[in-house]
Amino acid sequence: MTAFSCRSCGATSLPLILSLGRMPLANALLSAPQLDEPEDRYPLDLVFCQDCTLVQITETVPPTRLFSEYAYFSSYSDTMLAHARGLVERVIAERRLDEGSLAIEIASNDGYLLQYYRQAGVPVLGIEPAANTARVAEERGVRTLVTFFGDAVAAHLCADGVHADVVHAHNVLGHVPDLPGVARGIRAILKPDGRAIVEVPYVRELIDKREFDTIYHEHLSYFSLTALVRLFARHGLAVVDVETLRIHGGSLRVTLAHDGAPAAASVARLLEEEERDGLTGIAYYQRFAQAVQELSGSLTRLLSDLRGQQRRLAAYGAAAKGTTLLNYCGIGRDLLDFVVDRSPHKQGRFMPGVRLPIVAPSRLLDERPDYVLLLTWNFADEILAQQAEFRRGGGRFIVPVPDVSVV
């Protein structure tokens, strides 16, 4: 690992936590003609920075390869929409935003969040590198710049007099190769009394709940509060509040302000908890590889046993995490018949690596598989409710994380 340096602080002391081998790109869904072509595969190794505590993978696939055309549309998740609406309503009330304010989102996807500011009369600006999702946002009336955010974009916005009352960055920081550049960019576009709201999956949940399938090439970094505080402090921003959230299998929401702003007691409390529980040292992470191997073995044994009993098996959710889980566990067409997904942008395509066909959820009622592997387990409540009719007919779901269970 000597050739790799930490994306946050530049340190070179980064011991290995887990190797998942060479994996296809998680969101590189295949078209039918591509089934005859070889797929690109890249190493997927997870390491720990002993200087700033950031957990990260060592391979950086060019962002233009990953994000210029993106298969994930946030608006297809009712959970994400409700999450966004509730947050926007709260921020507008707390920050007293109005038609003279500005809300910016970095990696604004299809306008799923900014649309609620716009509906409330608050001007918005999305910054989104994927042209296909940006087009959908524009159709919603969400003004969107198609570009990757960083120092240079922030400098252009500032030169044009663009400064934000609130900057959102939800589930994007982990995708960023240049963490210092994004931190500096946020500081540059944030008004002196403005706030930035950053949400990231919490590394504690990754480790404690064996969420290894959230590791893929788009997710370069996995954050604790300690790692976030150290990152932003180096670039003139202070974490002034923190919340733990259930969404995405367990997330952190931090609120940033310019240096000198007072912090809520929640920040010191969680930092102390992370120190006490070992998140700032390598020993906490070293048991992860064995836990992942045990989980993989339990899941593949269950599926193989069911298949041996002539049970019909399918999967739900053509998500990135599904690519990691299926490929690492070696679950393909010998065990599953198809994968269903609500997004029409994914239907008719095939899962990377294992090449399972992706079809509409109606296939569950048409073909009635006995068991469905829930790849998007982070939206389990939403999906189980949507599939009430399938379940009433005897269909059952297998939830793979944190422990293999049948519901």
Q: Distance from first CA to last CA of the chain, Å, rounded?
A: 42
Query: Closest Cα to residue 247, out of 77, 88, 117?
Result: 77
At the topology level of CATH, where does 289-406 sit? Rossmann fold (3.40.50)
CA gap 350, 339 in Å, rounded: 9
**Pairing label, strands 371-374, 313-316:** parallel
Question: What average pLDDT does this structure show over 242-246?
Answer: 93
What value does the CA radius of gyration of the chain take, rounded to a whole number of Å? 21
pLDDT at 2 (0 to 100): 42
Q: Structure tokens of 167? A: 């900057």
Shared fold status for 74-264 and 289-406: yes
- Higher local confidence (pLDDT), 72 or 399: 399
Q: Structure tokens of 216? A: 């893929």
Phi and psi angles of residue 172, each rounded to the nearest 5 degrees, phi first: -120, -30
Q: Over the stretch 190-208, which tens digit does the pLDDT of each residue have?
A: 999 999 999 999 999 999 9
CA gap 341, 348 in Å, rounded: 10
Helix 225-233 / helix 179-189 crossing angle, nearest 10 deg: 60
Q: Over the stretch 51-89, which tens digit does the pLDDT of each residue have?
A: 999 999 999 998 777 765 655 576 667 888 898 999 999
Structural domain spans, the chain:
74-264, 289-406
| Confidence bin at 257 (pLDDT 50/70/90) | very high
pTM higher than 0.95 for the full model? Answer: no
CA gap 321, 325 in Å, rounded: 6
Question: What average pLDDT does this structure show over 26-49?
Answer: 95
Q: Which amino acid is at 201?
A: P
CA gap 171, 243 in Å, rounded: 15
Q: At residue 104, does pLDDT exceed 50?
A: yes
Phi and psi angles of residue 351, each rounded to the nearest 5 degrees, phi first: -70, 140
Bridge partners, 203 (sequence order): none
Question: What average pLDDT does this structure show over 349-369?
Answer: 97
CATH tag for 74-264 (out of 3.40.50.150, 3.40.50.720, 1.10.1040.10, 3.40.640.10)? 3.40.50.150
pLDDT at 72 (0 to 100): 59
CA gap 372, 306 in Å, rounded: 11
pLDDT at 151 (0 to 100): 94
Q: Which amino acid is at 21?
A: G
How large a percentage of the chain has pLDDT more than 90? 89
Q: Cβ distance 83 to 103 under 8 Å?
A: no
Q: At residue 210, does pLDDT exceed 70?
A: yes
Give me the torsion for CA of 279, 280, 281, 283, rounded to 10°. Answer: 0
pLDDT at 392 (0 to 100): 95
